[in-house]
Chain A
Amino acid sequence: MSILIDRNSKVLVQGITGRQGGFHAKLMMEYGTDVVGGVTPGKGGEWFEGKPVFDTMRIAVETTNADVSLITVPARFAADAIMEAADAGIRLVVCLTEHIPVSDMMKVVSFCARRGTRLIGPNCPGVMTPGQAKVGIIPAMVAIPGNVGVVSKSGTLTYEVGFAMKNRGIGISTIVGIGGDPVIGTTFVDVLEMFESDPATEKVALLGEIGGSAEIAAANYIRNAMTKPVAAFVAGRSAPPGKRMGHAGAIVDGGEGSADEKIQALEAAGARVASNPEEIPDLLM
Chain B
Amino acid sequence: MKLHEYQSKFLFRDFGIPIPEGRVATTPEEVYDIAKAIDGVVVVKAQVHVGGRGKAGGVKVARSAEAAKAHGQEILGMDIKGLRVEKVLVDPGADIEQEIYLAITNDRGVGKPLIMASMEGGMDIEELNRDRPEAIIREHVDPILGLQDFQLTYIVSAMGLPRALWRPFGKIIRGLYECYAKSDAELAEINPLVITGDGDLLAVDGKVIIDDNALFRQADLAADRDTSDEPESERKAREAGITYIKLDGQIGCMVNGAGLAMTTMDMTKLYGEHAGIGPANFLDIGGGATPEQVAAALRIILSDSNVRCVLFNIFGGITRCDEVANGILTAFNEVNPDVPMVIRLQGTNAAAGNQIIDEAQIPNIMSAETLTDAAKMAVAAVQEIA
Contact = CB atoms under 8 A, between A and B. Distances in A.
B162 interface: no
A182 B258 contact: no
A171 B371 CA distance: 21
Contacts of B269: 237-238
Contacts of A259: 266
Contacts of A141: 317, 347-348
Contacts of B126: 254-255
Given A106-B112, A110-B111, A182-B108, A276 B260 contact: no
Interface string A226-269: 00000001011111100111111110001100010000000000
A35 interface: no
Given A141-B348, A247-B258, A110 B144 contact: yes
Interface stretch (B25-33, B191-199, B277-285): B277-285
B214 A235 contact: no
Interface in A1-58: 27
A171 B370 CA distance: 20
Most chain A CB within 10 A, of B184, B213, B259, B260, is at B259
A254 B108 CA distance: 14
A157 B243 contact: no
A238 B265 contact: yes
A9 B259 CA distance: 29
A88 to B, nearest CB: 18
Contact size class for A?
35 or more
A245 B126 CA distance: 22
A255 B266 CA distance: 19
Nearest to B283: A246
B282 A111 contact: no
A221 B75 CA distance: 52
A109 B262 contact: no
A107 B143 contact: yes
Nearest to B145: A110
Interface string B50-76: 000000000000000000000000000
Interface of B: 106, 108-109, 111-113, 126, 142-144, 181, 184, 186, 211-214, 216-217, 243, 245, 247, 255-263, 265-270, 278-279, 282, 284, 315, 317-318, 346-348, 370-372
The 8 A-B pairs at the shortest CB distance, nearest first, are namely A154-B259, A246-B258, A156-B257, A139-B317, A157-B259, A101-B214, A106-B143, A182-B108
18 contacts: A76-B216, A99-B213, A101-B211, A103-B143, A106-B106, A110-B111, A141-B347, A156-B317, A163-B315, A182-B108, A210-B262, A235-B266, A237-B266, A237-B270, A246-B257, A247-B259, A275-B270, A277-B371
Given A103-B184, A278-B372, 20 more contacts: A101-B213, A101-B217, A102-B184, A139-B318, A141-B317, A141-B347, A154-B257, A157-B259, A163-B315, A214-B109, A237-B269, A245-B245, A245-B282, A246-B257, A246-B258, A247-B258, A247-B259, A248-B213, A255-B126, A276-B371
